[in-house]
Each structure stands twice: as C-alpha cells, then as structure tokens.
Amino acid sequence: MNKRFYITTAIDYVNGQPHIGHAYEKIIADVIARSRRSLGQEVFFLTGLDEHGQKVQQAAQAEQKNPQDYCDALAADWRAFAQKLELTNDDFIRTTEPRHKEFVQAALAQLHAAGHFYKARYTGYYSTREETFLTEKDRRPDGTFDPAYGEVVELQEENYYFKLQAHQQWLIDYIGANPSFIAPDYRRNEVLGFLNSQTLEDLCISRPAARLNWGIPLPFDPNFVNYVWFDALVNYISAAAAHGDPTVCAAIGCAPGPQSPPLALWPADIHVIGKDIIKFHAVYWPIMLKAMGLPLPKQVLAHGWWQKDGARISKTTGNTIDPIAVINEWGLDAFRFYVLRELDIGPDGNWTDAGFKARYSAELANGLGNLVNRSLSMLKRYRQGVVPARHDELAADAAKAADETRALLKQNQLQSALQSIWGLVNRANQYVDQTAPFKLAKDPAQALRLDEVLYNLAEACRVLAVLLQPFIPGTAARIYAQLGLSGTPDKLDAAAWGGLTAGQTIGEPAPLFPRKDV
Ligand code: MSP
C-alpha cells in the first residue's frame, strides 16, 4: 500500500457563510493537491466542517432549530461552495458524523486510560464567543478584555484538563530539529518564541454538559462534552481512520471502516491553515498526537489573512467580499487566479476591486487570453487549423517555465510558479509582435517561416495549458479543447516541448477571458 500525499484544510465553522478567507485557503490546498497529482503522486485531499460548540448551539437556538438540523441545512451550502470552487477533495468530513464522533471517543478513552487527563475546579473568566478561558494576563493595559472575546463572564466550574507542560521541551526540540514543520519560517519563529518564553498551561478539554450540550460526550464522564477544538483537530485522523489508515488504526485501536482497499494517509503531509490558528495546530495538536502515539504531520502551512480595502473583513461593518458573486460575474478561474497571484502563502493580503479588475484585464484577458486567441485564430485562418511541422524556436522558453514551475510546485511556491508561467505568456506574446505572422501571411515566399511561427505559438499554448492546470483547471481544459486535443492536461510531464503533432487539426478558438469594459 503506497502512502498517499495527504493534504488537509482547516474545517470551517458551519455557522455563517463562506467568505474569501475560506475560499482562499481551500483553493491553496486544491492547487497543491492538483499539482502533486500532476507530478505523479497519489493524493488525498480532505476538507470539511466544524459543527460542534457553543456558537452553533446558540445560532441554532436563535433560529429555533435543533442543532443537527441547523448544521445539516448549512452543510449543504458549504458543500455546494466546495463544488463552486471546483475543489478536488477526496472526502468532506463533518464533525457531527458518527464516524468522527466514535473516533473522538475512542481517542479520548485511550488518552484518559493512559493518564493524560485530570479533573480540576477552575475559577475565573470565560469568553463565550471564543469558547475559551481567560486569565488576568489576557487583560489589556486598561484592565478590559479585547472586544474580540465578546462577553466575558466569571465562571467557577469543574473540567477535565490535558497535561501539556510535560511535553513543552520535547516540542521545542522537535520544532528546532524539523525546520520545515511550520512554514513560513517567520511563523515557526513566532511559535518558538512563544514556547521559549511561556510555560504552557494545561488545556481544558471539556465543557460541562449542563452549560453546553452540543458536543461529543466524554466517554468516561457523560456530564461533560469535549471541547470543540479537541474534537475539531481530531478530524485529520478520524478521516484517515475511516479510510482504514493502518497507522492511525493501530494507534487508536479502531477497526478500519468497510471501504476497500484501505488507504495509507497518516502522517499528513500538509495542514493548510490560517495564521490565527497556528497555536492549535503547532502546539496543542502535536502534543495530542504524541500522547496518542502517532507521528506528527510533516508540515503546518500557515497563510495570511485577507483584508478588503485595507480594513478587516467583517460582516458587521459590511466590509466583505462574496466569492460566489465574484465567480458568477468573472468566472471561477479569474477568482482562483487573482487570489493565488496576488498573495503569496504567508503574508496578509488586501483585496481591492480595482486590483482584481486590473489583473483580469492585463494578465488574463490581454495576456493569456489574447495569446491563445490570436495564436489559434491565425492557425485557423492561414492553415485551416492544421498544425504545421514541429519547430523549436520557443522550446527553450517553454522548458524554462516548465522546469521552474515543477521546482516551485514541489515547494508550494504557488505565486512564484504563476510568475514563471507568465514569463512564457509574455515571451510568446512578444514573439507574435516580433515575428508578425499577419505580415508573413501576405508574402507567399514566407510560407515556411509562417509555418514555424504558427507551430511555436500553438505549442506554447499547449505547454501553458499543462502548467496552468493545477491553478485554473477550467481554462487549461478549454485551451486543450481549442487545440483539438482530447483528455485533460493533468500530467506535468506533458509539458515537454513537441506534444502537438504535424497534421492534426485544432478545434474552435473562442475567447477565454472576455474583455470587460471596466
Ligand atoms: N473551525 C476552526 C478551524 C478548525 S481546524 C481543525 C476555524 N474555523 S473558521 O471558519 O473560523 O476559519 C477557517 C479557516 O479560514 C481558518 O484557517 C482561518 O484562518 C481562515 N480564515 C478566516 N478568515 C480569513 C481571512 N479573512 N483571510 C484568510 N483566511 C481566513 O477557525
């Protein structure tokens, strides 16, 4: 059984509507998943929904629905959203599914039996919105708590705690010895800075069922439900167990599901997450895994946050971007291209409508779209759409773009890969201007030269389709179809120069990115 390249996203809170931040993260993971398949690897891509906890319970109550019905209705919207983005996820996990709940209980029972938990009484502050306990250290200089915590109440209650402190030095050493565990580098440094300067407080992993019952009951004490973050993080291995992953099943003692054949997934290769949830993924999650006797994921890849017009995205102030509206107006690939080209994985980004339109117009309509359209239209007009004999004038430029893209995709450098691919787009557009095929066509003595130019252009378009497939798969497929090629350009090896055969007939050229008056 070959281990698959296993990539996951954060699972989104089911309450609320998908926004650009959710879309961005899922698209990053999708492009990496498609890239790896294109490079010949077997991939498993997981995404899904985080459905337990107080926020969901309260939102359901506000709509006078039972929480499960509430989640089921919203889950349909989120699944449709994943389809709208044309994600190639292999599974979609919901934390209210029996396969997940049973697994979480098995993991909790095992950790409890091994002595990782203890029960204690807590007196202090609690943020309902963040479902988290606060201490005096969390107060701001003026004595108040950050408004992001919402209402903060004083609480006194018993709960179960997970012993973290004993693992602190191990984690520091692990991160030090595995520099690619947290990416980008500056996020690793932040985590190390935190771990080296503060003593880890034990993690409260329960909530009294009397206060919050929308959660997974602790198998060893039904008066409590599991803390939503513990439950949520476990999705990455409960999904693996559901597919019969031997490593997870051996560690947790779960029976593999009914599917056949079982898949080897764990450890995950990449957890794609936002910068706000690094502590959960790079501190709590590794310790949970260690306690369960499981290897750690190979990488936690943290992306930045989108703002709009320089301000935080917020439903309350109306400062939002509706990805579905953008996709309906401009097309999915324009949206996928913009978020990936505009923002590298790591720093924060700023969406402006003007910036979006400028990239659409310059890089998609006038860049790639114009290249493909004029290349194929000229081939149609001057050679009845029949591919001339092979010629290699742009072969070196294409090979450069392909080699760079291959190397960059292996390092998940998506923005740089797009820059390199556009190196070829620009070179080919420049080649049209330099060789002026429309002038060559007027001179019968230049017929051979025109053949050469037309071959180079059509073949450059084909190579571009292959390189672009992970990023803008719909456009890549359309370029292939317009070239009269069957199949999908989904293997990077096909980027080798010379794939178009003399004598074959292309399909119908049509604009890929219609120009819009903006
Ligand atoms: N449910 C938790 C994650 C559990 S993972 C075991 C959660 N959900 S969330 O819906 O609030 O966020 C989901 C993902 O979207 C997170 O990775 C978060 O960083 C990302 N984003 C939310 N808003 C964002 C932006 N404005 N910009 C970019 N990504 C952002 O946290």
DSSP string over 67-115: HHHHHHHHHHHHHHHHHHTT---SEEEETTSHHHHHHHHHHHHHHHHTT
**Region of residue 16 (left: phi > 0; alpha: psi -120 to 50; beta: else):** left
pLDDT at 256: 65
Alpha helices in 198-252 (DSSP H): 228-233, 235-242, 246-252
Average pLDDT over residues 10-38: 96
pLDDT at 513: 98
Nearest CA to ligand 1 atom 12: 12
* For ligand 1, mutation pick of 13, 22, 226 (most atoms within 8 Å of CB): 22
Q: CA dist 62 to 55, 58, 148, 333, Å?
A: 11, 6, 21, 37
**Is ligand 1 within 6 A of the CB of residue 209?**
no
Confidence tier at 518 by pLDDT (50, 70, 90): low
**Is ligand 1 within 6 A of the CB of residue 292?**
no
Ligand 1 atom nearest residue 12's Cα: 10
Helix axis angle, 285-292 relative to 168-177, nearest 10°? 100
Cβ neighbours of residue 492 under 8 Å, at least 6 residues apart? 35, 38, 39, 40, 402, 405, 406, 409, 466, 467
**Is ligand 1 within 6 A of the CB of residue 25?**
yes
Flag whether pLDDT at 446 surpasses 80. yes
pLDDT digits (tens, 9 = 90+) for 143-200: 999 998 989 999 899 999 999 999 999 999 999 999 999 999 999 999 999 999 999 9
Tell me which of 419 and 515 has the higher pLDDT: 419
pLDDT at 261: 87
What's the CA dihedral at 278, 283, 288, 291 to 10 degrees? 160
Q: How high does pLDDT run on average in the chain?
A: 96
Average pLDDT over residues 402-424: 98
Are the beta carbons of 368 and 464 closer than 8 angstroms?
Answer: yes
Which of 299, 293, 279 has the alpha carbon at shortest distance from 6? Answer: 299
Neighbour tally for 209: CB within 10 Å: 16
Confidence tier at 233 by pLDDT (50, 70, 90): very high
pLDDT at 148: 87
Confidence tier at 318 by pLDDT (50, 70, 90): confident
Query: Which residue(s) pair with 158 in the sheet?
Result: 121
The CA 271 to ligand 1 mean position distance, Å, reads: 12
Ligand 1 atom nearest residue 275's Cα: 19
Ligand 1 atom nearest residue 274's Cα: 19
Percent of the chain with pLDDT over 70: 99
Percent of the chain with pLDDT over 90: 90
Cβ neighbours of residue 345 under 8 Å, at least 6 residues apart? 28, 183, 184, 301, 303, 304, 412, 414, 415
Cα 505 to Cα 383: distance, rounded to the nearest angstrom: 10
Flag whether pLDDT at 210 surpasses 90. yes
Ligand 1 atom nearest residue 272's Cα: 17
pLDDT digits (tens, 9 = 90+) for 291-310: 999 999 999 999 999 999 99
Confidence tier at 258 by pLDDT (50, 70, 90): low
Average pLDDT over residues 319-347: 97
* For ligand 1, mutation pick of 15, 50, 229 (most atoms within 8 Å of CB): 50
Cα 425 to Cα 17: distance, rounded to the nearest angstrom: 36
DSSP structural state of residue 12? E
Flag whether pLDDT at 94 surpasses 80. yes
**Is ligand 1 within 6 A of the CB of residue 87?**
no
Neighbour tally for 317: CB within 10 Å: 10
Q: CA dist 333 to 18, 330, 470, Å?
A: 18, 8, 11
Ligand 1 atom nearest residue 273's Cα: 17
Which tokens in the block code for residue 14? Answer: 């089911």
Confidence tier at 257 by pLDDT (50, 70, 90): low
- Of 237-241, 312-316, 369-373, minimum mean pLDDT range: 312-316
Cβ neighbours of residue 242 under 8 Å, at least 6 residues apart? 91, 99, 100, 103, 257, 259
Average pLDDT over residues 326-337: 98
Cα 391 to Cα 456: distance, rounded to the nearest angstrom: 6
Average pLDDT over residues 55-76: 95
Tell me which of 101 and 254 has the higher pLDDT: 101
Which tokens in the block code for residue 237? Answer: 């291995």
Strands 311-312 and 132-134: what pairing? unpaired
Flag whether pLDDT at 118 surpasses 70. yes
* For ligand 1, mutation pick of 132, 273, 342 (most atoms within 8 Å of CB): 273
Question: For 147, phi and psi rounded to 5 degrees?
Answer: -60, -20
Average pLDDT over residues 59-64: 94
Nearest CA to ligand 1 atom 24: 21
The CA 334 to ligand 1 mean position distance, Å, reads: 22
Are the beta carbons of 375 and 458 closer than 8 angstroms?
Answer: yes
pTM: 0.96
Flag whether pLDDT at 463 surpasses 90. yes
Average pLDDT over residues 438-467: 98
pLDDT at 136: 85
pLDDT at 456: 98
pLDDT digits (tens, 9 = 90+) for 474-496: 999 999 999 999 999 999 999 99
